[in-house]
Amino acid sequence: MSDSEEEEGPDRQLKLVVLGDGTCGKTSLATRFAQETFGKQYKQTIGLDFFLKRIILPGNLNVTLQVWDVGGQTIGGKMLDKYIYGAQGILLVYDITNCQSFENLEDWYNVVKKVTEESETQPLVALVGNKIDLEHMRTVKVDKHQRFCQENNFSSHFVSAKTGDSVFLCFQRIAADILGIKLNKAEMEQSQQNHKMEGDHVPWPHQGEVQQLSLNC
C-alpha cells in the first residue's frame, strides 16, 4: 500500500441508479454532478449511460460513485432489472413541471421492489424533484412529494440540473446515508458553497413559501 493510500484509506464504491421518465432530466443531473456541465439540447439516452465521480465525505472518507443513468424508455424492457441489480442507491427522478413523470414513478418503484425483494440489503431510495429553476411552472404539489417519501421511507430532494442548485448536496447526502454518515448543517452548507449555482438564482424553497404555492397535480 502506498503512503497516500495509507493516509486516505481505500475508496468505497457505491452504485447509484437513476430512474424516471424520459426528459425528466436524469442525464442532465448526472452530467451536472459528474462533469459540472449542462446541455440545453435534449439527447435521448438509449439504454444506459455511465458516470464516475469521486467525493470525500466527512472523516476523510473517499467514495467513488458509479452513476448509472438509465434511459427513460427502458421501462418494460428486459435490461432494466439487470441495471437495477446490486444498486446501493436508487434515485427516482421526476420533473416538477410534469405530473405524469411523478405519477409514473410508481411503476419505476414497482420494478425496483421486484428486483430487490430477495436481496439481503435493500437500496436506499431517494425521491428527486428536478427543474426547480422552473418553480413558476410547477404542477407537482410539494405535499404529494413529501407524502410519497413518508409512505415509502424515501429521502427527499429538490434540485435543478440546469442551475446546479442542490445537485452535489443531493448525491453527497445519498452517499452519506448509505454509509451511515451523518452530515451536519455546516457540512451541508459548505457543500452548497463549494458547488455554487450559475447566475443569481435564490435557493429553493424560500422560507415560508412551501405552504403558499398554488398547485394542481
Ligand X SMILES: Nc1nc2c(ncn2[C@@H]2O[C@H](COP(=O)(O)OP(=O)(O)OP(=O)(O)O)[C@@H](O)[C@H]2O)c(=O)[nH]1
Nearest approach, Cβ of residue 45 and ligand X (Å) = 3
Q: Are strands 12-19 and 124-130 parallel, antiparallel or unpaired?
A: unpaired
Interacting residues with ligand X between 60 and 79 (CB under 6 A): 71-72
What is the rounded end-to-end Cα distance, in angstroms, of the chain? 55
Given 23, 139, 155, 156, the residue binding ligand X (CB under 6 A): 23
Contact (Cβ atoms closer than 8 angstroms) between residue 69 and residue 26: yes
Nearest approach, Cβ of residue 22 and ligand X (Å) = 3
Residue among 96, 107, 32 at smallest CA distance from 72: 107
Given 162, 171, 173, 195, the residue binding ligand X (CB under 6 A): 162
Residue among 62, 52, 59 at smallest CA distance from 15: 52
Q: Which residues sit opposite 158 in a β-bridge?
A: 129
Nearest approach, Cβ of residue 35 and ligand X (Å) = 13
Nearest approach, Cβ of residue 201 and ligand X (Å) = 11
For residue 79 the three cell numbers come to 435490461
25 contributes a contact to ligand X by CB under 6 A: yes
Given 26, 145, 157, 173, the residue binding ligand X (CB under 6 A): 26
Interacting residues with ligand X between 95 and 134 (CB under 6 A): 130-131, 133-134
The C-alpha atoms of residue 187 and residue 92 are separated, in whole angstroms, by: 24
45 contributes a contact to ligand X by CB under 6 A: yes
Phi, psi for residue 68 in degrees, rounded to 5? -95, 110
Q: Name the site residues for ligand X (rule: CB under 6 A).
A: 22-28, 39-40, 42, 44-45, 71-72, 130-131, 133-134, 160-162
